[in-house]
Amino acid sequence: MKFRNPIVKGFYPDPSVCKANDKYYLVCSSFHYYPGVPLFESDDLVNWRQIGHCLTRQSQVYLENIESSGGVFACNIRYDNGRFYMTTTNNSTQQNFYVWTDDIYGEWSEPINVDQGGIDPSFYFEGNSTYFMSNGIDENGRNSIFQCEIDIETGEKLTPSRVIWHGTGGRYLESPHLYKINDLYYLMAAEGGTEYGHMIIYARGDSPYGPFEAYLNNPVLTNRNLGGYEIQGVGHGELIQDHHGNWWIFHLGFRQIGRWIMHHHLGREVFLMPVTFHQDKWFTVGSDGTTQDEVEIMHIPNTTKQIEQTQYTFHNTKWDIDWCYLRYPDKANYIAQESELKLRSSLITLDMANSPTFIGLRQRDFHVEISCEIRVNDGEAGITLYMDENHHYDFALRKSGNTIEAIKRLNIGDIKSIHKQSIINSNIATLKITSNHETYSFQVISDGKVIDLGFAQTRYLSSEVAGGFTGVVIGLYAQDGTCSEFNDFNDFICTYLDE
């Protein structure tokens, strides 16, 4: 079978996977977006469908006034004795915690805190013992992986936290995961930072506490030396064995805009590569330790077909699964129906680290065509290409008295400017955005007339410009009104085009 990477496109970083009841489950970081921690299910490791989120109540996670790229960092999902566990860090409160559920399609528990610092927490279960690990800095200032044992019912530490590995010396040692394979314990982690130098490393030992011997040819997977190659930033890996005994590694990576344009704006995505264990019980990834965009492998039968959804509408998406909010939404400002969305303009704007009236879908590919018919009744209503509160392109209808304007506003750091605007004769118009790798183009269709409002470069919404750990989210929003009337959004269509 041949499949293409990434297997989950768009801003779904830091994948963690587990296997249960003949299916596979995957979770990703969500940062300041709500609900938190997207949850996916798969039958074959290649095709993934989102089935919910792990953090769906305000009591589970604190996101109030958290700036972009704060909040929920990398997470880890495990299945043990009939129960699912998801552990993560709220980096804004510096707290590691976990939630659990007996029903993967239902609600998750209230959070249980663990008194161990660092980020990227992970579980390892063996017998009646629960091992909890995260990264940190030891007393000598060295990057380290710390581990303790906890009472899984209460989160109470049963042993002191101790250093079990210092990695290979690369910067930002993170994302530890522990596995028992062939009677050996494998500790996998990442180094180099979640940027162009990212890499996956591992070591093995005879006990969960080591000592761990590093793989001689670390890093086992990295694209850091592939200049001019689309897939970069490969790291943060997770091993899993499929139903047929084959091993795989899930990991994050990103696709840069162009062969020699070192910017990425779609966020960090989910990639899959095959793993081979050798007679000496060390493993390698792929054929050369790099991640490719196309993988042909005999482990997956040819009857399996990689299916990709290419169009998203109000009709074929679910408001509580596919869409997301910025922090906790004020639900009084939203009326979400099967074929129509109504948004009440808020005094909270997209520039604020709060919760504007906003609901979004992650941008999943470079070539996309977005259109929506909008009726503005109060303030400003439109589509935003949102990276963070300081980097977003807003395309909207704006009502001021009896005047209706179509505007394109560019927000790039401290520069916030209405780049182009046009007075139209109606408060109803269709807004259309078309993008390729390098540009977004903007058109207004009103009374049968097409008004071109120019273009903007995608690179200014990239992580290299904006910083942070997220990706562009296509948002529908309303702001700067009297908070008295709703604005209407109809016929939303987001179509990904062949490249």
Catalytic residues: 14, 174
Expressed in angstroms, the distance from the first to the final Cα of the chain is: 22
DSSP 346: B
Q: Identify any residues that bridge with 159 across adjacent strands, giving them in sequence order.
A: none
Q: Report the alpha-carbon distance of residue 6 to residue 233 in Å, rounded.
A: 13
The maximal CA–CA distance of the chain, rounded, in angstroms, is 77
Omega of the bond leading into 121 within 30 degrees of 0 (cis): no
Q: Report the alpha-carbon distance of residue 72 to residue 37 in Å, rounded.
A: 8
Q: Report the alpha-carbon distance of residue 443 to residue 408 in Å, rounded.
A: 10
Two tokens, residue 325:
């909010």
**449-468: b (≥16 Cβ within 10 Å) or e:** eeeebebbbbbbbbbbbbeb
**Dihedral Cα 59, 62, 68, 73, nearest 10 deg:** -90
Q: Report the alpha-carbon distance of residue 455 to residue 254 in Å, rounded.
A: 24
Q: Report the alpha-carbon distance of residue 373 to residue 283 in Å, rounded.
A: 53
Rg of the chain, C-alpha, whole Å: 23
Two tokens, residue 2:
């041949």
State how far the alpha carbon of 285 is from the alpha carbons of 76, 205, 239, 248, 290, in Å.
Answer: 21, 20, 11, 8, 7
Q: Identify any residues that bridge with 123 across adjacent strands, giving them in sequence order.
A: 132
Two tokens, residue 210:
């080591």
Q: Report the alpha-carbon distance of residue 358 to residue 344 in Å, rounded.
A: 10
CA atoms within 13 A on the CB side of 23: 14
State phi, psi for 463 to the nearest 5 degrees. Answer: -65, -30
Two tokens, residue 64:
């109030």
Q: Report the alpha-carbon distance of residue 217 to residue 210 in Å, rounded.
A: 19
**150-172: b (≥16 Cβ within 10 Å) or e:** bebeebeeeeebebbbbbbebeb
Q: Where are the beta strands (DSSP E) in 151-246?
A: 162-165, 174-181, 184-191, 199-205, 213-214, 231-241
> Which stretches of 109-221 are DSSP H helices?
none
